[in-house]
Amino acid sequence: MRIAWEERGSGRPLLLIQGLGYARWSWEPVVGPLAERYRVVFFDNRGIGESDVPEGPYTARQMADDALQVLDEAGIARAHVLGASLGGMIAQELAVAAPGRVDKLVLCCTHPGVAHGLPMPAQTVQLFAEAQTLAPDVALRRFVDNALGVDPPAGVADELYRRRLENPLDPAGWQAQAAAGTTFAGVDGRIAHETLIVTGTADNVVDPGNADVLAERIPGARVEKLEGLGHLFFWEDPQRFVRIVEEFLG
């Protein structure tokens, strides 16, 4: 597997794992500030960006192995791990599969698995159904808007839409990644790492209630709820997000 990755900054390693349909460019609002304190490593999951697109479907466990490959290639024995959405599911698998490689764990806008969690909000289910009848650019804009909260900062939706147009998805890769999310039943093991769970209270993609369900499954986990923010809260209020992460990681 060829996994495209890069790093910025120095200090304690911090591995960022992105979600469905977003390549490593999508960490742009937070990677610079985080790199002022940490050695930030971030990559394109299999199926997107400059990484390979093997035949799917994928599983979150396979994608956790890709994350381990990145740590190996970067020469990192142990790192803080931060995952968003599907990346949060991958991070959970990584914490169980290779607990010694993970220091602290940050799980953002993510899910405990279909065997335990709350279903996708009706608004997004309906959008997926409607998208099949919409022009591709119109559907893309609708998905971007749907991933933000009730009152996103001016220009954020336009910037995300522009970046999505500049970085078109591989349809087969997207479908294979989506399968990893829909088949994630939850980890088969105990997560014992110090864990922070972050959710936006206006998340239309992953029901915010999943943060509490996930916290019940991870002893000592702390939940941070960002009022009025959506699924991509690290685009809506990156300064607040970075502050929360830095306070937790130390």
Tokens of 44: 């394109």
If you average pLDDT over every residue of the chain, what do you get? 97
The mean per-residue pLDDT over the stretch 186-205 comes to 97
3-state secondary structure of 231: coil
The mean per-residue pLDDT over the stretch 206-220 comes to 97
Predicted pLDDT at 227: 97
The set of residues, in sequence order, having a beta carbon less than 8 Å from that of 23 and lying 6+ positions away, is 44, 45, 48, 49, 50, 167
The mean per-residue pLDDT over the stretch 136-157 comes to 96
User: What's the domain range around 238?
Assistant: 5-249
Task: Give the pLDDT confidence of 101-125 residue by residue, as tens digits.
Answer: 999 999 999 999 999 999 999 999 9
3-state secondary structure of 248: helix
For residue 11, is it left (φ>0), alpha (ψ between -120 and 50) or beta? left
Please tell me the total count of domains within the chain: 1
Question: Please, which pLDDT band fits residue 226 given cuts at 50, 70 and 90?
Answer: very high
Measured in whole angstroms, the distance separating CA 65 from the mean position of its chain's CA atoms is: 16
Query: What does the buried/exposed string (b/e) look like for 135-168 if buried means 16 or more CB atoms within 10 Å of the residue's CB?
Result: eeeebbbebbebbbbeebeeebbeebbeebeebe
Predicted pLDDT at 168: 94
Whole-prediction pTM value? 0.97
Element spanning 240, H or E: helix 238-249
CATH number at residue 171: 3.40.50.1820
Predicted pLDDT at 39: 98
